Every structure is written in structure tokens, then in C-alpha cells.
Amino acid sequence: MSNLLANLVRSIVIHWKRSLVVALVAVFALGFLSSTAKSPPPDDFNIPGTESQKAFDLLEAGGQAQAGITSTLVFSTDTGKLSDPKQKSAIQDTLAQVGKLDEVVKVGDPFNPKAPGVSQNGKIALSEVFYDPDLKFGDVDKKQGEDLEIAADTARNDGVNVAMRGIVVDVAAQQDAPVGELIGIAIAIVLLTFLFRSGAAMAATIVGALIGVMVGQTLLVILAAPLGLPEFAATIAVMLGLGAGIDYSLLIMGRFREQLAAGDSVGDAAAKSGGTAGSAVVTAGLIVMVAIAGLLVIGIPLIGKMGIGAAIGVAAVVVSALTMLPIMIGALKKWLRPKKISHVKPSAAFANWGTRITKRPWLSIAAGVLILLIFAFPMTHLRLGQPDDGNQSESSTQRQAYDLVSEGFGAGSNGPFYLAVDVPANDSNVKAELNSIVTDLKATDDVASVTPPPSKPGADSAVISLIPETAPQDKATSDLLENLRNNVLPESTEGTPLQVYVGGQTAGFEDFSDKVSKQLPLFILVVIGLSVVLLMMAFRSLWVPLVSAAFNLLSVTAAYGVIVAVFQDGIGASLIGVDSGVPIMSFIPVMIFAILFGLSMDYNVFLLSRVHEAYNGGDSPRQSVIVGLSRIGKVILFAGLIMASVFLAFVTQSDVVARMIGLGLGLAILIDVLFVRMVIAPAVVTLLGDKAWWLPGWLDKILPNISLEGHAIANRDPIGEPLDPEIAHDLGIEA
């Protein structure tokens, strides 16, 4: 692989104009294909095999309104009561306007005596807005929420306060401007300029990465329909592609400038950077793609396809680092040669650090592990759940609606259960059987209210609405769900032909969490197994991949601990504008595991490739670690800072889940780079000694060889005058 990449990068750099034409044609072709691509199908929120999914399917088949998109309008007043003539008229006028909106099929009347929606003190009222069941989650756009907002203004103009919540409102509130991405790019520009001390090197690195991100997004548009990719996959792909793309281009650019300083020609420097850093980028990228695509193992379409979309984004930035970046190198080659040896010379500070770490490796490992365990400790009280509108900013309309509903109707009103009843066609006693179920439900502990199903003779399904006494995130609500499914409903329907499935958003999130938890061990096994095999193929080592996987697991655990400490325990939560007590969304652990395990392996490959190169050059195990750190330590540190900045910039998003992912990954990358790559990994390789690079003969024969030894590539051009003879000697370049 090293020779292949060396020849590819050399050819592109030397013939950069011709390569640019080819690249432009390819980009325009992709742009054309994206403009003709079919619209993607609605996001697939199915959770196969779960009871809540069965409930949804039954309600949808029966045309029940609860199977569609809903929004909640909450009216309140500071003076008088909402039943006062003027305020009541304002609310009714508003609801009439809402009822005329496109795709709205039903609007609840809070003043209906058969189903009242006014609080006991008369100051709060709510109305459920039901949309056409054919409107899927992925079809909701900003216009629907904006239209709802305009209709609500009818009541506001008459002195009635209106707050709203629901998926339609959430979509309308989403941030259009890519603030997080722009902040991440700005920080990357500063850090790259400081690292390279060259505007040209910074520009080439940034452009190479951004083109990869752009191509990745274009591919997602083209493939969204045939693969059924969810909309959120594009956000994850940008987050990953931007951070990884800059890191990959940074690694190749750093090695290219190092080879130039050692006296290599532009062509030879390009070939060697492609054969060494390029090979490391391909290996690292493959591990990231394997880890993120491993989400397919979870068995939930939304998560699995999200992983596929993110993997496509990473593949695009890997290809861009090996094609578009060399084009930029060819175009800017006159300005890329380092002016001072200090800009590319091995770092004396990192060499000294490596000397200290390797002097007492056991102490270094113990200190590093202790720090990781401290970060990981909060994970011991991890609580999976679903952040809801109660975790939004207090200034948001969703949070205001949530608090008003809790105040006026009880905390459980924010998370009702919908019990879907499958009614056989020949059941003549169905009315009495349904009434019996309702009676049993009303007698159940922790149930606030039960709404019987409307009478629909001949219907093949019915829906019973149940309001818990406790909030959706309360453990008592989870216990109630379990009691209903395992005890109350089986006993109530015994001897009848009725089948009852408990659904609704709260039940769906519980089922989602359960399914993720069951599949998590298999997912972890698959990701670790494939990653270890790839590392064995790259480094021809048994122990280094196994130990790397073990410490990567510890890094992931530390990341979980940080998320719990901030969002659940509230440590520093106010700094990012969230409240404490936010449960960790159930898919966050698997998503963070997939992303962080892959990205931390990036830095592992970057470090070990330089250590292995020094070892193969004749250095002792300990000296190879010191030399490797001196050559790559600064690059890894800056790459980690850039990646962390890209992720941390996403805490500017209004969505608490995006903040959770951004903060968790950003801090986790810093922890991994500072303590695992800079402390634990060098100490472990030192302790292993020569065994670090040993692979059993039988395994060596069956594993393909992904060689990273591009430094052995021969020069084709005359060797020039190096900036410093020492760096030329270190890289094996002799005049």
C-alpha cells in the first residue's frame, strides 16, 4: 500500500494542473448527480420487534390520529381566567386558524366539556394539534412550524400567552447558520498557522479538508434515497469529516514539509509523505469507518444508517487528503518549503517528555490510568433516558410549554402512554372488555388519569390514553410502564381476544434504550475485533493492538464519566446553558463509543507509525519511543486540539443532544491525547520492548500486510541541501 500511495501522491503533485482538471470534472459531476437525486424517504424511526413499534403500527393501520405528528399549544394568562369571554374568544379564533393549516387534520378544543383541557385554576389550557398520519417525521420542515407560530399570534395579540412544543416546533427552531462549524474552522486556522508558521501550508491543509467535507455531503445527497440515510447523518458526517479531515491533511502536510527540509525534491517529499503519513491516514480512516459503520449491529435502522452516512463522510475526507491536498501542494509548492529548521525539527520538549515517561514506565501507566479512572467515576451512576423539552433552555417556547403543562395538569401530562388495542372483527363483547381494561388502569398505582377510547363500532383498533402521575424522565414512570406490560394488562385481558400494546413517545424511548443495551456487548465486540485486526495488519504486532484496544476502552469510559458529570450532575452545566439532571440519551453511549474508539485509534496510528519507523531504523525500543514522540508529538497535540475544537464548537447548538455529543467528544479527545497518547501508550510500548513488534508466524502468514514503511521509498531526484544535516540523517537521507 505504501508504494501505491507514494506513486499516487507523487504523480498528483508533479502533474497538479492535469489532476486539478480531473478533480474539477469529478466535483461538477457529483454536483450534477446531487441536483438530480431523488428526495430521500422520511427518516425511519422504527424500532423493530418492540412493543411500542407494534402499538404504532396498529394505530397507523387503523388511521388513529395518535400515530401521526402532533404539536401542543399551551395557553396561559396572568389576569383573570381563560374562560373569560375575551380570552376564550381569542383562543378559539387561534384554534380556528390552526385548523386551516396545511396537513392539520384535527385540533383539540380545551373548552370541550367531554374532554376538558383547562387547568383547575382556569389559567392554563392546552390543545393538541394532530397532523395528517401520512406526514412522517422526516417530512417536517421549518415552514410548518413557522405557520403554527403565525397562527398562535392571533391569541397573543389579544393578551393571551401562547407556548408550543412538538416536532414541528423543534424543526422551526433549528439553527440555520453553521455556527459550530465556522467556529471550529476559525480555531483550526489559528492553530494550523501557529503549528506550520506558514499561511500557504495552513491554507492547503484547510482547503484539502473542506473539499473532502463538501464531497462527502454531496455523496450523502446522492445516496440518501437509495440507502435511506437519515437527515441527522449529514450533521454527524460534517462533525466527523471536518475534524478528521483537517487532522489527516495536517499529518500529510507535516511529513511533506519535513522531507523538504531534509533535502528531498518536491516529488520525492510528496512520495514519502504519501507512503508514510498517507498510509497511516488510510489505516486510521479505515478504523474510524469500521467503528462507525459497526452501528449497524445495534439493529435499529436509524442508528445503523446514521453510521453508514458518517462512514461515507470519513471516506470522502480520506480520499481528499490523498488527492485534493496533493493538488494544493503542487500548486503552492514554492511557498511550502520551511524557512527555518525550527519549524519542522523534532521537538526537544517532546523528546524530554518521552525520556521522563519511559524512565519509569510503570509509574507513568499507573498515573495515567488513575486520572482516567477519576474522569470515569461518574459513570457509576449513569442514567439512560431521553432528554425532553424539560431540559431545554428556560427561554425557549418548548420549555415554557412543558413547565406550564406540568403546572396545570401534572408532570405526567408531558409524556402520555397510548395503549393500542387490537380488536378482532368478530368480538361482540368489545365495549365491555374495553371498559374493564379502563377500570383496571384507573385502579393502578401512579396513574393520574385514563381516557376511554371513543366509540367506533366495527373499528379494528382502539386507543386508550393514560397519563402517569410522574414525569417522563422519572424512574417511577419506567416502573409504571413495566407494571402495565408485565402485570396489569395481561391480567386485564386474560380470557379475552384483545391484544393491548403500550406505545407513545415515552414508551418508545424506553424500548429504544432496552434494545440498545441488549445489543451493546455485540457491537463493542465487533468494533474492537475488527479494529485490532486492522492494527495487526498495519504494524505486524500482536500486543500493541490488544493493549491499544484496552486503553481505548478506558478512554471511552472516561468520556462517559465526563458526560454524566456535566449533564446529570450539573458540574459546569451552566457554562453551556443547560440544566443539571439531564438523562443521557440512550444512543449517545454507542455513538460516542463508535466515534471516539475510531478517532482515538487515529492518534494511536499516528504515534505508533513514527515509533515503529524509528525502531525499524535501528533504535532501541525505548529510544524509538523517544524519537517517535519528538517527531510526531507536537502534530498529535495540535491535531487533538483541532479535533476537540471542532466538536466543542457544537455546544453552540440549541439542541441538548447536539451539545451532549459535541461536549462529550471534545473533552474525550483531549483526555485521550493528553493522557493515553502522551503518557500511557509510550510507557506501554517501552515496557513491551521488542515484543511490541512481534507477531506469531502463523498469524503473520494469514494476515494481509498493510505496510506503513513508506520511509524506505527510494529517491528519484537528486538530493538537495537540507536545512539541517541532522534531520536528513534522522530520515535516512544521504547526499
- What SS3 string covers 166-188? EHHHHHHCCCCCCHHHHHHHHHH
Helices of type H across 414-504: 430-442, 475-483, 489-493
Q: How far apart are CA 676 and CA 555, in angstroms?
A: 8
Largest CA distance in the chain: 98
**Residue 726, pLDDT score:** 65
Q: How far apart are CA 239 and CA 241, in angstroms?
A: 6
Q: How far apart are CA 572 and CA 487, in angstroms?
A: 42
Task: Give exposure, 126-137, as e/b (b: 16+ Cβ within 10 Å).
Answer: bbbbbbebebbb
Kindly report the pTM of this predicted structure: 0.80
Domain ranges of the chain: 1-39+180-345+705-735, 65-171, 347-395+520-699, 416-503
Q: Nearest-CA neighbor of 576 among 644, 663, 495, 640?
A: 663
Report, in this order, helix, strand and coil percent for the chain, each rounded to 5.
70, 5, 25
Phi/psi region, residue 669 (left: phi>0; alpha: psi -120 to 50; beta: rest), is alpha
How far, in Å, are 62, 152, 679 from residue 635 at the CA level? 60, 54, 16
**Residue 731, pLDDT score:** 59
**Residue 284, pLDDT score:** 84
Residue 4: CB atoms within 10 A of its CB come to: 13
pLDDT in tens, 340-351: 777 678 888 999
**Residues found in the chain:** 735
Q: Residues near 466 by Cβ (< 8 Å), separated by ≥ 6?
A: 416, 417, 418, 419, 441, 447, 449, 450, 451, 484
Does domain 347-395+520-699 fall under CATH 3.90.1150.10? My reply is: no
pLDDT in tens, 480-504: 999 999 999 999 998 888 899 998 8
1-39+180-345+705-735: what CATH class?
mainly alpha
Q: Do domains 1-39+180-345+705-735 and 347-395+520-699 have the same CATH topology?
A: yes
| CATH architecture of the domain with residue range 65-171 | 2-Layer Sandwich (3.30)
Residues of the chain with pLDDT under 70: 39-45, 62-68, 115, 136-138, 173-180, 343, 427, 455-458, 579-580, 654-655, 706-712, 720-735
User: How do beta strands 161-166 and 70-76 pair?
Assistant: antiparallel
**Residue 78, pLDDT score:** 84
Question: Which CATH code for domain 416-503?
Answer: 3.30.70.1320
Q: Nearest-CA neighbor of 310 among 561, 40, 592?
A: 592
**Residue 359, pLDDT score:** 93
**Residue 381, pLDDT score:** 85
Q: Residues near 695 by Cβ (< 8 Å), separated by ≥ 6?
A: 536, 540, 541, 542, 703
